[in-house]
Structure 1
Amino acid sequence: MLKHVLRVLAIVVVIVIGVVVYLAWPDTAKLSVAQVAGARPDITAPRVQTLPTVGVADVVGWQGNRKPVAAQGLQVAAFASGLDHPRWLYRLPNGDVLVAETNSPKREGGGIQGWVMGLLMSKAGAGVPSANRITLLRDADGDGVAEVKTAFMTGLNSPFGMALMDGQLYIGNTDALVRVPYKDGQTTITATPETIVKLNPGGNHWARNVIAAADGKTLYVSVGSASNIAEGGMAAEKYRANILQVWPDKQWRVFGAGIRNANGMAINPVTKQLWTVVNERDMLGSDLAPDYLTQVEFGDHFGWPWYYWGGYPDTRVEPKNPSLQEYSKRPDYALGPHVAALGLTFSTDTKLGDRWASGAFVGEHGSWNRKPVSGYKVVYVPFAANGYPAPGAKPVEVLTGFLDKDGKAQGRPVGVITDKAGALLVADDVGNRIWRVSAPTATAAR
């Protein structure tokens, strides 16, 4: 018995030493983020990891009067503070702003990987219970600060996306698309939500976004994968890694597939087509695979889990699917490896100056699987007149400073929208604030 115990202890010690050694020398990026960004990113050979490179920034919050740093010619100030994990934003027709104060539901099981992910979430400031609340913010006097902050809806289930269509407010809970009646100017809703479509919950990617289609007749709903690369089998991924199209009469279909984790979605003002930002896979090394921004058309398949960036095979995935390779759509624009692109809004309604007049803003939540870290900022992708990213364009920094001089996270940007005065609002889910980016000469159009 003693020999058995000693043998087990010896094995544990070896494993611990191995982990310590591994974490002391994790995979380090050989390329800059910019080299893995743009319409033609550098796609190098994968460096498959058995144990992941772990590099998530510790959260310290905003101390004193500290705040993010805006690009030259812009300024930033707090639009609202004292929130509880604000992730997503939606502007109502009267200019009120809805904030989903939300977090991942409790994760069940998951073995060692689930345990590791739980530790990472806690380290990143995400391991707290969800407020399960939507809060309404109102800036009635137009000074750029919300003087009204009130609970709009409670009792939800990790709510995320919100969209108003035909007098109904649709909300993406983690397990269902629901709706409630809404009248302009309401500050609270007590109606019991009606379920429109049940969504498969659980796993790694819990946030469900929802937006109205360009014609205002259907909705798009994003449902991320349950895993990194379907390591739990494809049965667990049923109707996951998809963007669904939903009709108000509760009919639905898969609109786009092979999309590991789409969050931000927006209608392109030029093409009137659906665009999204997508979190790609982990543990292929610090240079792969790039998160991306792309147009999605009905029937598109972007390759997950078998392929990335338009047909590069992920040899870890079993069983293989060789017939899909030539049909895996290549995304329109790479945002860089592991940046965790979440927020997306086009600049159509902004009044920030000519430099920011035609493009898309992207909220990058920040990496956990790269050394050095990437993301932790808001960037802008310039678009050409044809409605696609400008040739040769790289992401331009709009809002930085979320990491302090020691590499700790003062905040992490998520959702991005414009307010009715044309400023950019940014949800900061660990800083518990909404930041407002504006041009110094801009005046509130109230």
Structure 2
Amino acid sequence: MIRPLLTLAVSSATLLVAIPAFAQPQGTIGEYSDVTVQGSILEPEPVTISDDAELAAQIKVPEGFMVEVVGRDLGNTRMLATHGEHVYATRRTEADVIRLNDADGDGKYDADGDGKYEDFTIVAARPGMHGLAFHGDTAYLATVNEVYTAPVNEDGSFGELTRIIDDLPDGGQHANRTLAIGPDEMLYITIGSTCNECIETNPESATILRASLDGKSRTIFASGLRNTIGFGWEPESGMLFGADHGTDWLGDEAQQEEFNQIEQGAKYGWPYVFDFGNLNPHMNPPEGIALEQWAAQSKEPAVGYTAHAAPMQMTFYTGTAFPEEYRGDAFIAMRGSWNRRPPSGYEISRVDFVDGKPGTWDHFAEGFLVEGEDTNYGFLARLAGITQTEDGALLLADDFNGIVYRISHEAGDSADAATVAETPDVTMKPRPSDIAINLVEAEGTVEVSSPSFTTGETIPLKHAAEGDNASPALEWGTPPEGTLSFLVIADDPDAAEPKPFVHWVLYDIPGDATGISEGLSTDAVLQQPEGAKQGSNSKGQTGYMGPRPPLGDPAHHYHFQVFALDLAQLPVDPGATRDEVLAAIEGHVIAKGELVGTYQRPGAEKPIN
């Protein structure tokens, strides 16, 4: 819910007069906040330098590093990626992917070395094209709602695009998807929030998704991430890290940009908690969950950075052309602020890693922001993309001017400059398990039925994920003697991974209940049945998820299991996992029963996912 009593004082950049602003929200923050937030709108103006050498000389890098302009007039260059000697850029405005041409091998993207830096070839085009990654000789491309694959030909061109995912969440404010293939041979897709701060209606928004390479299955890997564009795996440890955009309108110095160690199943606070345990004065968690409780369930960032700097693409440096102290570090393009005084970002930042762990997050390449007279500001570039080349240099993409920069080191040895050992896979592999009812001992029996289907029958489409995704009504009659609460768990033992796939965990149902109604909310704490709580399913979201077996699979069996307990409330938080709930009910089950339905996906004429 959105809270009242928030005072917002905004200064106009056109006045170019410094107005005193609180660095952080000032006042009482809690369920009913009374705070003052003062912010700024300050949009630097573009500054053009047409001479390449003069432009490159404005950029300040550590001693020994060199900056060159290697491409101009390339359009809205956003994300960069390399495949062997080929360099690619996605262009959001033009809705395509281009291959930069370096015909004479001088490191500049022109056709004949004549100094005209506008030569490129369009290799793919789809509306909303933004994310790009390679797996062997296959390109993966992301638009707002879709993911495509394409074979990469020997000359660097792409073959026919094949759509493998067609139902990513709608974009809203943060529609720019990025993707990468992890050490576990899975596809990771970033999904930004649809807003600055709000309660998302699609649980996949503000997350990182983890999908199979064929796109047929996916889960939520981590949540509470407002807009993580840049992410990657630290080469030695195999741990996943990402740079997340902070919430706007919390003041010039809040929220810090976050550099997170992204762990499987973890929550990262948004929209209720930001950076290092700070509570958002404008938002309350769902009914029944306190801000402090949400904060306790959320992971804090490994390190923070200047607010509003806008981290974009990120790359871990795996080459040998840079000095030893830079190897294994993360380099991040910072596009720059529009709502901070003075502006932040407009640079390349560096996270210094020591023994596989992040230390400081500091400036690396500066000078793209220009301070003029009368405290006005200009910019030379809005940096969005960064990638490492085959010879161990860094390429930077400016999405405003269509300029590509190259950063190299004077002592760099291009031989084996990009060689790197294989990054280890440290993702948690789910341990196969039996369905819940076979793991629990009970003397009594619960007779479970549903008005929607009987044992062995097909579950109606309205209860499937591709239908209405409405939880089915369940009935079990008079509670067994001594029952203080009920628990419902829905398992699919026919899923490949995890086994079983958990579709529903519903607990603390009042002990006098004789069933539950159809179409329950997906909130973690329910108003009906009063006080009931819901846990996390295998998709990584809270509440019920309907059947959705992979296309082509035979019918899966869905076990709706009901347990009568002698506990009124389980000693677990809302959003608990099935394993946590099963551990909590050990020795407290009076009776158990189940209803088994089946479901098979429609044919290929239906949605491909």
> Above 0.5 in TM-score?
yes
Higher relative contact order (CA 8 A, sep 6+): 1
- The 1-side partners of 2:134 and 2:171 are apart by 26
Cα gap change, 1:188 to 1:245, in 2 (>3 Å): closer
Task: Return the match for 1:327 from 297, 301, 323.
Answer: 297
The AA in structure 1 aligned to 2:67 is V
The structure 1 residue matched to 2:73, chosen from 74, 82, 90, is 82
**What is the TM-score normalised by the length of structure 2?**
0.58
**1:340, distance to aligned residue in structure 2 (A):** 0.4
SS of 1:326 mapped into structure 2: helix
The structure 2 residue matched to 1:178, chosen from 148, 152, 159, is 148
Return the alpha-carbon distance in structure 2 between the equivalents of residues 18 and 69 of structure 1: 33
- Give 1:222's aligned residue: 190
Alignment of 1:30-429 (within 5 A): 52-65=39-52, 66-67=55-56, 68-92=59-83, 94-102=84-92, 130-139=93-102, 141-148=104-111, 149-189=119-159, 191-215=160-184, 217-230=185-198, 233-235=199-201, 237-249=202-214, 250-320=216-286, 321-322=289-290, 323-385=293-355, 387-390=356-359, 393-395=360-362, 397-406=363-372, 407-429=377-399
Residues 441 and 142 of structure 1: is their aligned pair in 2 closer, same or farther, counting only changes over 3 Å? farther
Seen in structure 2, the aligned counterparts of structure 1 residues 404 and 336 have a Cα distance that, compared at 3 Å, is closer
- Using the alignment, how far apart are the partners of 2:86 and 2:68 within structure 1? 18
Question: Quick one: distance in 2 between partners of 1:355 and 1:268?
Answer: 15
In the alignment, the residues of structure 1 paired with residue 174 and residue 20 of structure 2 have an alpha-carbon distance, to the nearest angstrom, of 24
Which stretch of the first structure deviates more once superposed, 66-75 or 433-442?
Answer: 66-75
Distance of aligned partners of 1:29 and 1:403 in 2 relative to their CA distance in 1, 3 Å threshold: farther
- Rounded Cα–Cα distance in structure 2 between residues aligned with 1:63 and 1:30: 38
Q: Which one-letter code corresponds to 1:424 in the other structure?
A: L
Residues 30-62 of structure 1: per-residue CA shift (max 9 Å, x gap)? 59xxxxxxxxxxx99899677852012112333
Aligned counterpart, 2:429: none
Whole-angstrom CA distance in 2 between matches of 1:199 and 1:48: 37
Letter in 2 for 1:344: M
Q: Deviations over 1:190-228 (max 9, x none)?
A: x2431324212231111100000113x211100100001
| Match of residue 5 from structure 1 | none
Deviation at 1:381, TM superposition (A): 1.6
Q: Which amino acid aligns with 1:97?
A: V
Gaps of at least 5 residues in structure 2 are: 1-8, 112-118, 417-609
Pair 1:18–1:266, CA change in 2 (3 A): closer
What is the distance in 2 between the residues matched to 1:210 and 1:79? 26
Tell me if structure 2 keeps the 8 A contact 1:29–1:370: no
Aligned equivalents of 1:360 and 1:73: distance in 2? 19
Quote the Cα distance in structure 2 between the aligned partners of 1:21 and 1:409.
15
Q: 1:279 to 1:26 in 2, by over 3 A?
A: farther
- Measured on the aligned residues, the alpha-carbon RMSD in Å equals 2.8
- The question of whether the paired residues in 1 share the 8 Å contact of 2:231 and 2:243 is answered with yes
CA–CA distance in 2 between the matches of 1:309 and 1:246?
28
* Distance across 1 between alignment mates of 2:270 and 2:238: 25
| Structure (1/2) with the larger helix percentage | 1
Q: Percent identity?
A: 25
Bigger mean CA offset, 174-183 vs 22-31: 22-31
Residue 81 of structure 1 and its aligned partner are, at CA, apart by 1.5
CA contact (8 A) 1:403 1:410 kept: yes
* CA distance in structure 1 between the aligned counterparts of 2:303 and 2:37, rounded to whole angstroms: 29
CA distance in 1 between counterparts of 2:408 and 2:35 reads 42
Q: Distance in 2 between matches of 1:226 and 1:185?
A: 38
On the 8 A contact 2:26/2:36 being kept in 1, the answer is no
Between structure 1 and structure 2, the one with the greater Rg is 2
Report the AA paired with residue 195 of structure 2: S
Kindly tell me the number of residue pairs found equivalent between the two proteins: 382
In the TM superposition, residue 183 of structure 1 has moved relative to its aligned partner by: 3.1
| One-letter amino acid matched to 2:96 | R
The answer as to whether partners of 1:179 and 1:196 remain within 8 angstroms in 2 is: no
Instruction: Give deviations 1:323-353, integer Å, cap 9, x for gaps.
Output: 3221110111112211101121111225122
Given the superposition, is the C-alpha separation of residues 21 and 295 from structure 1 closer, same or farther in structure 2, using an over 3 Å criterion?
Answer: closer
> By how many angstroms is 1:412 displaced?
1.5
Does the 8 A contact of 2:314 with 2:330 survive in 1? Answer: yes
* Aligned mates of 2:323, 2:12 — CA distance in 1: 50
- 1: distance between equivalents of 2:46 and 2:35? 28
Structure 2 CA distance for partners of 1:20 and 1:289, relative to 1, 3 Å: closer
Against the structure 1 CA distance between its residues 27 and 182, is the aligned structure 2 distance closer, same or farther, given a 3 Å change threshold? farther
- Please state how far the C-alpha of 1:429 moved relative to its aligned partner: 1.1
Greater CA drift, 414-423 or 145-154:
145-154
Q: Which residue identity does 2:232 align to in structure 1? A: A
Aligned 8 A contact 2:395 2:407 in 1: yes
Aligned to 1:122: none
